[in-house]
């Protein structure tokens, strides 16, 4: 009998530990949630619990030329296009008011947006003026039907929008928004957002594909980068301007590509768990909004200007940064070119960054900081030049590779684990009065 009672006590204790473990998981997930311009950091909702209402619902092939569409109610779209249809909206004005506290229903599923396409709709928008003045009111939303971290499926929903203006005023109100595997193609837009967590080019759980060409995309709110990516986002021939937040944020296994873009950033307000100021930010929030994996940032023939903080910042993720023939300027004397370190996200002790930096025909200046749980492989090729100190505190592990056409000029003592230089004489390295240590041995 005594053994039986002991067994019962053990079973009860095991059950209590399991319950506490589940509760702790949800607490950590919420605390570590995404707190920038894209993710909500809230538990997922089942799409079946989201109901839609719209002033104008389009469920068949339709062309609308001219007219004003206005929604004043909470959790209501001004225009909703849904189903296997092709519709065109031209020369229209859309106004959206009516705050929503729907959380994921607005950020994941497009509820309360001015214009929403879902259910496989193909929606074309031309010469539109779209304004929202409500919480949780994105401008134009493409929801592809699959809100999962990995975006394994999509119903083909596509929005093509051109020559239009989008203005949003309140929190959680992005300009163009893509989730669940949706497709967003934007041409020559003028977008300005003013609220918190209101990226001009915004995505959330399930991501999708976003292609932007031409136009101006500006944000003035805290935690509102010009681009927040949980998707594959490409921007060409455009102007990106962020006056309070990061310029570009990539969460998890997602990407941003810039080509012939002018990005100007002044990150002067910290948001959520952020502890540093930076322009281009690659991280994993652990919120469940983005799959873990390699984040990718690529910039070519672009101008990247940082007015406060680091130009590039990586934490709690693996990342590849490809830079080709850009003009990169940091106007902050205390800002680094690249910082890789642990921060507020992830598990302590394993939440640094693992970065591959590829520079092709690229000039860059500034320091590179790598903390003790992070690593960097830095490749200079095709006439690239770097001027700065790398791993000056001798904390992280750095591999440095140079071809014969590329140069390194030191502005402080530099520590690397290994050096691979195609110029065996090292004449392309200017020590400039400082020391370069390779695996603890000074290069002479």
Interatomic CA distance for residues 92 and 67, integer angstroms? 5
The C-alpha atoms of residue 152 and residue 205 are separated, in whole angstroms, by: 12
**Please, which residues bridge with residue 292 across strands?**
none
Q: What is the DSSP track for 308-373?
A: SSEEEEEESEEEEEEEES-EEEE--TT--SEEE---SSS-TTS-SEEEEEEEES-EEES-EEE-TT
**What pLDDT score was predicted for residue 24?**
40
Four-residue CA torsion sign, 269, 273, 276, 279: negative
d(CA 231, CA 251): 9
343 neighbors 275 (Cβ within 8 angstroms): yes
Q: How many DSSP H helices and E strands does the chain contain? A: 2, 41
Q: What is the pLDDT of residue 374?
A: 98
Query: In the numeric block, which tokens belong to residue 26?
Result: 């949800």
Cα angle 59-64-69, degrees, rounded to a multiple of 5: 85
Structure tokens at 401: 């590779």
pLDDT value of residue 152: 65
| 148: confidence class by pLDDT, cuts 50, 70, 90 | confident
pLDDT tens-place string over residues 47-96: 447 899 999 999 999 999 999 999 999 999 999 999 999 999 999 999 99
Question: Scanning the structure block, which residue is given the tokens 């009065």?
Answer: 433
Token duo for residue 89: 């909206």
Question: What would the pLDDT profile of 158-205 be if each residue is shown by its tens digit?
Answer: 999 999 999 999 999 999 999 999 999 999 999 999 999 999 999 999
Segment holding 28, helix H or strand E: helix 2-31
The DSSP bridge partners found for residue 297 are: 256, 321
User: What percent of the chain has a predicted confidence (pLDDT) above 70?
Assistant: 88
What confidence tens digit (pLDDT) does each residue in 316-375 have?
A: 999 999 999 999 999 999 999 999 999 999 999 999 999 999 999 999 999 999 999 999
pLDDT in tens, 415-439: 999 999 999 999 999 999 999 999 9
**Comparing 24-33, 181-190, 228-237, 250-259, which segment has the lowest mean pLDDT?**
24-33
For residues 9, 12, 16 and 22, what is the CA-based torsion angle, rounded to 10 degrees?
Answer: 140
Residue 12: strand, helix, or coil: helix
The pLDDT tens digits of the residues spanning 6-51 come to 444 544 454 554 444 434 433 333 333 344 455 433 333 344 478 9
Alpha carbons 102 and 423: distance in angstroms, whole number: 60
Q: Which of 22-26, 222-226, 233-237, 371-375 shows the lowest per-residue confidence on average (mean pLDDT)?
A: 22-26
Confidence of residue 151 (pLDDT cuts 50, 70, 90): low
Token pair listed for 293:
């994996």
Report the distance separating Cα 391 and Cα 341, nearest Å: 11
Residue 241: per-residue pLDDT: 98
Say how many C-beta atoms besides its own lie within 10 A of residue 318's C-beta.
18
Cα separations (Å) of 257 from 56, 206, 234, 287, 426?
35, 19, 5, 24, 33
Nearest CA among 356, 261, 270, 256 for reference residue 309: 270
């Amino acid at each position: 009998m005594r053994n039986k009672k002991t067994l019962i006590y053990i079973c009860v204790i095991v059950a209590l530990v399991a319950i506490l473990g589940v509760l702790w998981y949800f607490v950590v997930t919420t605390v570590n949630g995404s707190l920038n311009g894209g993710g909500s950091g809230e538990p997922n909702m089942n799409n079946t619990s989201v109901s839609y209402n719209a002033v104008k619902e389009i469920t068949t092939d339709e062309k609308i030329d001219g007219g004003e569409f206005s929604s004043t109610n909470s959790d209501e779209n001004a225009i909703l296009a849904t189903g296997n249809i092709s519709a065109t909206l031209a020369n229209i004005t859309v106004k959206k008011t009516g705050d929503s506290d729907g959380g994921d229903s607005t950020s994941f599923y497009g509820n309360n947006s001015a214009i929403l396409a879902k259910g496989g709709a193909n929606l074309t928008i031309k010469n539109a003026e779209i304004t929202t003045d409500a919480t949780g009111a994105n401008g134009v939303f493409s929801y592809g039907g699959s809100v999962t971290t990995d975006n394994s499926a999509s119903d083909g929903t596509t929005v093509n929008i051109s020559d239009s203006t989008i203005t949003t005023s309140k929190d959680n109100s992005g300009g163009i928004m893509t989730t669940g595997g949706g497709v967003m193609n934007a041409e020559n837009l003028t977008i300005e957002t003013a609220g918190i967590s209101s990226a001009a080019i915004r995505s959330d759980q399930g991501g999708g594909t976003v292609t932007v060409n031409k136009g101006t995309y500006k944000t003035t709110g805290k935690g509102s980068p010009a681009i927040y990516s949980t998707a594959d986002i490409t921007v060409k021939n455009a102007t990106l301007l962020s006056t309070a937040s990061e310029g570009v944020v990539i969460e998890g296994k997602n990407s941003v590509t810039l080509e012939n873009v002018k990005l100007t950033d002044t990150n002067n307000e910290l948001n959520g768990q952020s502890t540093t100021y930076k322009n281009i930010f690659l991280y994993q929030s652990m919120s469940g909004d983005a799959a873990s994996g390699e984040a990718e940032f690529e910039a070519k023939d672009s101008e990247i200007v940082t007015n406060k903080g680091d130009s590039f910042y990586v934490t709690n993720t693996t990342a590849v940064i490809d830079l080709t023939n850009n003009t990169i300027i940091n106007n902050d004397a205390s800002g680094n070119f690249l910082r890789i370190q642990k921060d507020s996200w992830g598990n302590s002790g394993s939440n640094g960054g693992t970065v591959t930096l590829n520079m092709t025909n690229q000039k860059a200046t500034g320091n590179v900081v790598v903390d003790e749980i992070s690593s960097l492989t830095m490749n200079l090729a095709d006439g690239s030049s770097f001027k700065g100190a790398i791993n000056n505190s001798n904390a992280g592990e750095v591999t440095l590779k140079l071809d014969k056409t590329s140069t390194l000029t030191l502005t402080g003592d530099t520590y690397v684990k290994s050096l691979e230089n195609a110029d065996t004489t090292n004449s392309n390295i200017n020590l400039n009065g400082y020391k370069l240590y390779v695996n603890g041995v000074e290069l002479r």
